[in-house]
Structure 1
Amino acid sequence: MTVDPRRSSPTTAPVRIAEADGHHAVLTFSGDLDAPALRVLEEILLDHRLREPTAWTLDMTGLRHIDLACAYALLRAVTETPEREIAITVRGARPAVHRTLRHAGVDTVATFEH
């Protein structure tokens, strides 16, 4: 992952891989996930640790805002490879975040937990 140190450090990036093994990955989100963070999100979604897991948990408890471009990036990441089906669980999304994810169509491929 490449992060511009003038914008943020890896510990304050709005998304990070908290854990990943061959079966399950947990991505944690915090702050605002908007246009300036899109590149960081896309780089993380291409991380080699996310290639094998068939279940992803997106922990959005700390996420205040997500824009549509970032929501679409999440949707693309889980639907681009039809030969590998990924079970997505979104945990702790605030109402505004949930609404944006729904507008992008993420609700068609994910289960939401509150």
Structure 2
Amino acid sequence: MTFSDVLDAHALSELEELLSDRRLRQAGTWAWDMSGLERIDLACAYALLRSVTRAPETLSVTIRGPRRAVQRTLRRAGLDTVAAIEE
């Protein structure tokens, strides 16, 4: 998945819907490109965390290229404990 612009409360329901797609649950690896993401709010970061923690334990998640501000929010939500964050 590639994220760009801003993920905030306006995008939350659409993000949750995309992350709950059954086909996505069948993948063994998720790679999220966040190099184009300018900002993410905590609610969206928690939605990403929930999607990972509800997935099968064998799931591998990599977050690529997040800006420093985005990284801070992801770490604050705890995503660094369930996903590899590559700068």
TM-score per shorter chain, which class? over 0.9
So what's the TM-score if we normalise by structure 2?
0.94
Say whether residues 1:106 and 2:79 are aligned partners.
yes
Aligned residues: 87
Q: 2:19 aligns with which of 34, 38, 45?
A: 45
Equivalent position of 1:56 in the other structure: 30
1:92 has 2:65 as partner: yes
Partner of 2:7: 33
Q: Structure 2, unaligned stretches of length 5 or more?
A: none
Q: Percent identity?
A: 59
Tell me, in whole angstroms, the C-alpha distance in 2 between the residues paired with 1:85 and 1:104: 21
Unaligned 5+ residue runs, structure 1? 1-26
Query: Could you tell me which residue of structure 1 aligns to residue 41 of structure 2?
Result: 67
**What SS does the corresponding residue of 1:50 show, helix, strand or coil?**
helix
CA deviations over 1:55-100 (Å, ceiling 9, x no partner): 100100110000000000000001024x443111000100000000
Runs of 4+ in 1 over 6 A off after TM superposition: none
Q: Which of these two proteins has the greater Rg computed from alpha carbons?
A: 1
Larger RCO, structures 1/2 (Cα 8 Å, 6+ apart) = 2
C-alpha distance in 2 between matches for 1:34 and 1:57: 20
Task: Kindly report the root-mean-square deviation, in angstroms, between the aligned alpha carbons of the 2 structures.
Answer: 1.0
